[in-house]
Amino acid sequence: MTDPDRSGAISVMVVDDHPIWRDGVARDLAENGFDVRATAPDAAAAVRIAKAVLPDVVLMDLNLGGSSGVDATREITAVLPSARVLVLSASGEQSDVLEAVKAGAAGYLIKSASAAELVDAVRRTAAGDPVFTAGLAGLVLGEYRRMADAPAGVEPPPQLTERETEVLRLVAKGLTARQIAEKLVLSHRTVENHVQSTLRKLQLHNRVELARYAIEHGLDGE
Cα–Cα nearest to 88, from 33, 131, 27, 139: 131
* CA gyration radius, the chain: 17
Predicted confidence at residue 150, as pLDDT, reads: 44
pLDDT score recorded for residue 146: 54
pLDDT score of 20: 94
Tens-level pLDDT at each residue, the chain (222 residues): 444 444 568 999 999 999 999 999 999 999 999 999 999 999 999 999 999 999 999 999 998 888 889 999 999 998 998 899 999 988 878 788 888 888 888 889 998 889 999 999 999 999 888 888 876 766 665 555 554 444 444 455 547 788 888 888 888 777 888 888 898 888 888 888 888 888 888 877 777 778 777 776 777 655
C-alpha distance from residue 215 to each of 21, 166, 190 (Å): 36, 13, 23
DSSP 93: -
How do residues 5-38 score in pLDDT, each as one tens digit?
A: 445 689 999 999 999 999 999 999 999 999 999 9
Residue type, 59: L
Q: Which overall architecture, per CATH, does domain 4-135 show?
A: 3-Layer(aba) Sandwich (3.40)
Map out the domains of the chain as residue ranges.
4-135, 149-216
Task: Give the architecture-level CATH label for domain 149-216.
Answer: Orthogonal Bundle (1.10)
d(CA 127, CA 180): 14
